[in-house]
Structure 1
């Protein structure tokens, strides 16, 4: 037998269990992958103990380096430290050659990619509409689109909060706030202080030391919570050290991971500032922390993409991960998958470009997150026609314009002009108005300052 690999470990484990325990109900089996990738199997107590002992060495041999050892790699539920509580832990569902297995992931940094939206405590607290802007790579105009729509909403009388969660490549502060208008602190500072329970974490919020109003909004309220503030500019050598700690779980209560901490920060800002809308600039790529903005902030999620093979490959990985939690969703209009929406960024005006992008997106979603349509159809199947413009795969579009390459609003906004913004971003912003705000009246809203 060839050496086992990471990708081969789960199929081999499944094969061993199926051969040793004929007729076993895999809904009662838990596959556990530890932080090193080794695979543990937990069987129901109905499994015969003698058969468990006999199967252990065969499983260990099949898994090789991915076995935790013949004594601990295969046990019954009552023999685990967690006991029956293990069955209540969140799990992913993987389809391995037609068999659905329940997989519990043990990760070094958080569990956010392994938790479906809405399964975490406090996720359903009322809040204003939130929209996350995500991309696999930078340079696709994601932050520009976020700012321009926020500015337009502010001009319509909305109070808007922009939150920078692209912590490793902070941009909203530098692009939207002059140096002297920056707040004293940023999101990275708050996360570092919150980690150790410093009273400064609360002070930053109570005294509004984390947000500032952008002067680029001609009217209305456009608040920016940047990744960094004046204090980091004064002490740049400490930024990377703070960043390394920003992602860690704190020890509050039973411990809070990155998504829980960000949700708490965002909820406090919303109660203080009373925004009508929150726009979130997500970290690019598939890092563990990007899961917060995609899955755990109860937000609509815009998936920015250019029509390139490398981008489609990355989204294939993302949708495959999300498909493992697709079994956990409410029915109908509350399905969390409906919050996702593709955006064709830097779109070409060439004939057929939009149709080509849409077709490739549709194929991706069919293979990834859409439900397989059974014969005769099914009312509760999560599936769409390729030309259904309400479907997640059907893209919003932002036309390519070289004037927005390396666009810095503080320097270039006045020279680009309203006509260029309307031509490239106008349909995109109008579609978002309809998607997020519906027919809501866009008149100015009175707030208590």
Structure 2
């Protein structure tokens, strides 16, 4: 009879089993020093100890973890490190990436090394001064009208007399510049497209890496949109209007962390915040609107969690959408102490609401599906008046959608060419509820 083979231990299983072993061991010992379980870029585990346990205990722990972790905790590797042996122990024991498992002891943390998307669990940046209200436009999937809604909100706020700064952070698929600036036309030997600034967001990151992100660069990144009326609309496109440029070569250098002499490495999110500080200092806007790349990407992690912005989460009511948001929320749940600051700033936008739907019925159905996902980041009901928890149809809840209608007039968005798209009645028909909510979010003192 054929003997059954032992099943291979895969990535997620290895983590669960190794975590259980370490927590069980910590709860059974008197180890008072900090212990950090580190998972490297390959998924292989190592453990850093502030206080070194006895050798016999380490050998027992190694044997059990090698069984439970499989190839992610191989017997042939050195898996234990001690604070006194490390050149820079603060990089492990005081790392911003580290998080405490809900059922783990206070002296235990997990440090998951990521090649991309590290900043989903980082704290908010420390801005150099008081910032204007900021709003991030994000969608787990593209093609849901996110950029259109941002452009229309900029137009609406300008009509209200607000000076608006718009920044295109969708660097891999720039779209905001073409929506708010003239078509990229050149004449003769023109070096820069007419009506466009010379440089864009990618240029700032490239120049900043060699300390050349100066005031002159900031000035040359700013364009003015003709959608403006009573207030200015200044726009920083992802890609500037320079005709002869190698955009992809610049894009490949954007997401770098920068080493700083005598200081901690400056991670991408801190650099992004510094760019915004410079732009805000230059333009003095009343509000900043940030168009963020769709999907679980580095720039999304920094924009959603680190800029202190109101976060508009765009969604259509599909299983693919909710699966994507669930992955994000499960990851956020790792950092309970930072989660509250994030979830307070989330707003769900029901995008492209079908014209044949009754809005109130669609909103309730959407809210029911969204609520099942948001339960991952809501508190469990306990009777505490301070708990962050909502029923499915609570219209005050972050999961309850503000609807934007799917309107025929906005299917091909080109407001500088299609005057009908700036018709007040059509705009209110499609975006009215969103306009009202956004004004209330961004200028609450004017609602009082």
2:189 aligned partner: none
1:284 aligned partner: 294
RMSD (Å), alpha carbons: 2.5
CA distance in 2, matches of 1:8, 1:33: 13
Show the 5 A alignment for 1:29-428.
29-43=35-49, 45=51, 47-67=53-73, 70-83=76-89, 86-90=92-96, 91-95=98-102, 102-109=109-116, 111-115=118-122, 117-118=123-124, 120=125, 122-123=126-127, 125-178=129-182, 179=184, 180-197=194-211, 199=212, 201-205=214-218, 208-231=219-242, 233-235=243-245, 238-253=246-261, 254-328=264-338, 335-348=341-354, 350-351=357-358, 352-366=361-375, 368-374=376-382, 377-414=383-420, 417-428=423-434
CA distance in 2, matches of 1:44, 1:82: 13
Give the drift of 1:203.
2.6
Change (3 A) 1:275 1:35: same
CA distance in 1, matches of 2:317, 2:339: 30
1:110–1:258 contact (8 Å) kept in structure 2: no
CA distance in 1, matches of 2:30, 2:337: 18
Change (3 A) 1:431 1:25: farther
Give the drift of 1:124.
7.5
Q: Deviations over 1:408-441 (max 9, x none)?
A: 2222244562221110101110111112211428
CA distance in 2, matches of 1:6, 1:202: 47
CA distance in 2, matches of 1:244, 1:139: 24
Gaps of at least 5 residues in structure 1 are 443-449
User: Which stretch shows the higher mean deviation, 82-91 or 136-145?
Assistant: 82-91
Gaps of at least 5 residues in structure 2 are 1-5, 185-193
1:196–1:250 contact (8 Å) kept in structure 2: no
Q: Deviations over 1:238-265 (max 9, x none)?
A: 1111101011122344332221111111
Change (3 A) 1:419 1:110: closer
Give the drift of 1:317.
0.7
Change (3 A) 1:415 1:134: closer
Q: Deviations over 1:160-187 (max 9, x none)?
A: 0000000000011111111311001010
SS of residue in 2 equivalent to 1:42: strand
CA distance in 2, matches of 1:190, 1:26: 48
Change (3 A) 1:271 1:405: same
1:17 to 11, 22, 38: 22
Give the drift of 1:12.
1.8
User: Which stretch shows the higher mean deviation, 82-91 or 162-171?
Assistant: 82-91
Give the drift of 1:313.
0.6
Task: Return the TM-score normalized by structure 1.
Answer: 0.87
1:20–1:51 contact (8 Å) kept in structure 2: no
Q: Deviations over 1:49-95 (max 9, x none)?
A: 32113322432343232126555313454454444773322222445
Q: Deviations over 1:350-405 (max 9, x none)?
A: 23211100111111111x1101122xx11332212323322211111111112212
CA distance in 2, matches of 1:279, 1:437: 13
Give the drift of 1:44.
5.1
CA distance in 2, matches of 1:44, 1:252: 26
CA distance in 2, matches of 1:46, 1:436: 51
SS of residue in 2 equivalent to 1:342: strand
Change (3 A) 1:84 1:286: closer
1:9–1:66 contact (8 Å) kept in structure 2: yes
Task: Return the TM-score normalized by structure 2.
Answer: 0.87
Give the drift of 1:46.
6.6
Change (3 A) 1:175 1:370: same
2:117–2:301 contact (8 Å) kept in structure 1: no
